Structure 1
Amino acid sequence: MTWTIFMLLRATPHWLGHSITERDSIAVDCLAQAGLNDHVSMRFYDAEAFSGTCSDVAVFETTDLAAYYFVIERLRNTPLFAKPYFDVIDIIPALENGHQAFQQAERA
Structure 2
Amino acid sequence: MPADPTAPPVTAFMLVKTTPEWLGMSVGERVHAFTTQVLPVIEARARGVRSRFYDTEFYSARVTDIWVWEADDHDAYRLLVDALRETPFWDRWFDVVELLVGTENGYARTYGLDPVATVAV
TM-score, length basis structure 2: 0.78
* Counterpart Cα distance in 1 of 2:105 and 2:76: 22
Which one has a larger percent helix, Structure 1 or Structure 2? 1
Higher gyration radius (CA): 2
Q: Is the 8 A contact 1:10 1:89 kept in 2?
A: yes
Identify which of 79, 100, 112 aligns with 1:104: 112
Aligned to 1:4: 11
In structure 2, list runs of 5 or more residues that go unmatched.
1-7, 114-121
1:1-108 aligned within 5 A = 1-29=8-36, 30-35=38-43, 38-81=47-90, 84-104=92-112
In structure 1, list runs of 5 or more residues that go unmatched.
none
TM-score, length basis structure 1: 0.87
- What amino acid is the match of 2:96? V
**Deviation per residue, 1:42-75 (Å, 9 max, x gap):** 1111110111210011111012211211121111
- Percent pairwise identity: 35
Deviates more, 1:36-45 or 1:87-96: 36-45
**Deviation per residue, 1:17-40 (Å, 9 max, x gap):** 000111111111212212275511
